[in-house]
Amino acid sequence: MFRRLVSACVALFLLVACAGQTAPVARRAIIVGMPYIPNVQFAHFYLAAEKGFFADEGLDVTFDYNFENDVVQRIASKNKIEFALASADSILLARAQGLPVKAVMSTSQEFPVAFMSKSTLPLATPADLKGKVIGIPGRFGASYIGLQALLYAGGLTEADVTIQEIGFNQVPVLLSDKVQIISGYANNEPIQLAAQGTAVNVLRVADFYPMASDQLIVNEALIGTEKDVVTKFTRALQKGMQAVSDDPAAAYTTSLKYIPEAKPSDQSVTTDVLKATITMWKANTSTFGLVQPAQWAKTHELLRAVSALKEDLDVSSAYDASFVLAK
C-alpha cells in the first residue's frame, strides 16, 4: 500500500514537472543575401549573430553571398532569402522593372562612393573632374551612379570627361597611371592606398550630392505576412551596429570568424576601414539605420536626370521608414 502511494506520488510529480516544461521554441530561419564577398564592412551583421542579438529575437540567421543584382532578384523572387543588402539606386531601378523590393533600414547614412587621384592632381570639387580620364568598373553600379551624381552636381556631363571602363582593377590602374582618377569606396580604397604609401586626393560623392546609400531590403510580401520578423531583424541589426561602434577592434576580431581569408597583419588597415564605415553609419543622425526620405528624393532626381529611370516613380513606396524611428 505504501509503495503504491509512493509510486503514485512520483508519477504525479513527474507529470506536473513535464507539464511545466515548454517545448523549445523553434527559431525562424533567416537567410541574408550579402553582396559579393565576406567583408569587415558587414561587421554589424557578424556581431549581431555572434552576440546573440538575432537569437534573442528568435531568428536563426545565415549569410549568403552573391553579386548585388543577383541578391535583389532573389529577394524579388522570394527565393529563400528574406533580407538582402542593396543600394538605393538599385532598388529604384528594380522597382521600375516591377521587382517588389522595399528598403526597411539604411545601413549607411552616406553614399560611400568616392573618386581618387594621386596627390599631384588636384581633386577637391566636381569641377576638377572636367577634362580628366576617369576609370570606373563599367557603366553600371554604384561607381557609375556616383560619377553621374558628381557630374550632375557640378553642372557637367559625360562629354566633359573621358570615362574608361577598367573592370575591378582600380588601384593598380591608378598606380600605373593608366587613368588619372578612379572610383572606389571612401571607407576603403583611400585607406588601402595610404597603407601602401600612396597619398591620394579624395572627392566624396556624399559631400556634393547626398543620395541614399546601402539599404536592408525585403520582399514587400514579407512586410505583409511577417512584419514582426522584419521588426525583430532590424532591431537586432541596430544593436549590432551599436556594438561595432562601441568597440571596433573587438568587432574586427569577431568578424574574422566570417572572413577566414583576412590575415592578422591586415588588422590595422581593416580596423581603419571599419572605423571609417562606422562614421558613415552615424553621419547626420544619432539613430543607426534611419531611412532618410530627403536622400531618396535626391537619388530619384538623379536617376531621372540621367535617364536611368524613364518615368517618375513613387519614391516613398520604395522604402518603409517605420521600422527604424529617430530617437
Residue 249: all three cell numbers together: 577592434
Rounded distance between C-alpha atoms, residue 283 and residue 299, angstroms:
18
Instruction: State the nearest-atom distance from the C-beta of 121 to another protein, in Å.
Output: 20
Closest to another protein by CB, 141 or 289: 141
**Total Cβ atoms within 10 A of residue 90:** 24
Rounded distance between C-alpha atoms, residue 221 and residue 223, angstroms:
5
Closest to another protein by CB, 22 or 97: 97
SS3 219: strand
Q: Which residues pair with 4 in a beta bridge?
A: none
**Residues 128-187 within binding reach of another protein (CB under 8 A):** 137-141, 144, 163, 165-169, 172-173, 176, 178
Rounded distance between C-alpha atoms, residue 112 and residue 16, angstroms:
59
Closest to another protein by CB, 90 or 277: 90
Binding mask 268-307 for another protein (x = CB under 8 A): ----------------------------------------
Beta carbons of 183 and 134 less than 8 angstroms apart = yes
Beta carbons of 299 and 113 less than 8 angstroms apart = no
8-state DSSP, 21: P
Instruction: State the nearest-atom distance from the C-beta of 67 to another protein, in Å.
Output: 8
Of 245, 233, 294, the C-alpha closest to 111 is 294
For 152-161, letters b (16+ CB in 10 Å) and e give bbbebeeeeb
Closest to another protein by CB, 79 or 322: 79
174 Cβ contact partners less than 8 Å away, ≥ 6 residues apart: 116, 117, 118, 135, 181, 182, 193, 200
Kindly list the distances between the CA atom of residue 210 and the CA atoms of 109, 205, 301, in Å, as whole numbers in the listed order.
Answer: 9, 7, 11
Amino acid at 185: Y
Instruction: State the nearest-atom distance from the C-beta of 215 to another protein, in Å.
Output: 15
Closest to another protein by CB, 94 or 206: 94
The residue from 32, 40, 61, 72 that contacts another protein (CB under 8 A) is 72
Instruction: State the nearest-atom distance from the C-beta of 242 to another protein, in Å.
Output: 33
325 Cβ contact partners less than 8 Å away, ≥ 6 residues apart: 287
**Residues 77-116 within binding reach of another protein (CB under 8 A):** 77, 90, 93-94, 96-99
**Residues 222-261 within binding reach of another protein (CB under 8 A):** none
Closest to another protein by CB, 69 or 242: 69
Closest to another protein by CB, 13 or 168: 168
The residue from 30, 76, 186, 200 that contacts another protein (CB under 8 A) is 76
Instruction: State the nearest-atom distance from the C-beta of 71 to another protein, in Å.
Output: 12
Closest to another protein by CB, 92 or 116: 92
Instruction: State the nearest-atom distance from the C-beta of 265 to another protein, in Å.
Output: 23
Residues in contact with another protein by CB under 8 A are 69, 72-73, 76-77, 90, 93-94, 96-99, 137-141, 144, 163, 165-169, 172-173, 176, 178, 308
